[in-house]
């Protein structure tokens, strides 16, 4: 049984230096449990498959927050400017513009990264 669950925040431990993608101190969110040994983590919007034993649960006194500075709704795009100086852009294709959906998708994209988000949508939407 894996020591993590989806949604856990993890930090690279001493063993993380042995892995080519992450290093000690890398902080990410668990987005998928592959098996007893492997997890998928989201780090700065990108997803990586890593060995679970190279990470520990991260405990912080500073909760992770998504502080939005400004939102621009400009059909077909929703643009979110974040307090950390980054921006996220999502666009609607082949459906009516929906501001609420655009903001929700921008937040998801910020949290999980475009690749992981597309992977999950493709996996679950195409099954229906």
Domain map of the chain by residue range?
9-57, 68-125
| Whole-number percent of the chain with pLDDT over 70 | 91
Q: What's the topology of domain 9-57? A: SH3 type barrels. (2.30.30)
Sequential DSSP letters for 15-70: GGGGSSS--TT-EEEEEEE-SSSEEEEEETTEEEEEEGGGEEE---SS-----EEE
**55-57 sheet: strands from edge to edge:** 46-51, 38-43, 27-33, 9-12, 55-57
| Residues 78-124 pLDDT 10s | 999 988 778 899 999 999 999 999 999 998 888 777 777 787 788 88
């Amino acid at each position: 049984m894996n020591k993590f669950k989806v949604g856990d925040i993890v930090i690279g431990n001493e063993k993380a230096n042995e892995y080519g993608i992450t290093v000690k101190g890398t902080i990410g969110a668990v987005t998928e449990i592959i098996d007893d040994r492997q997890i998928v983590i989201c780090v700065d919007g990108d997803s990586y498959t890593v060995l679970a034993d190279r990470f520990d649960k991260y405990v912080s006194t500073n909760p992770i927050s998504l502080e939005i500075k400004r939102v621009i709704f400009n059909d077909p795009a929703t643009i979110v400017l974040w307090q950390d100086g980054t921006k996220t852009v999502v666009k609607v294709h082949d459906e009516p513009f929906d501001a609420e959906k655009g903001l929700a998708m921008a937040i998801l994209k910020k949290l999980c990264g475009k690749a992981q988000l597309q992977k999950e949508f493709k996996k679950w939407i195409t099954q229906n």
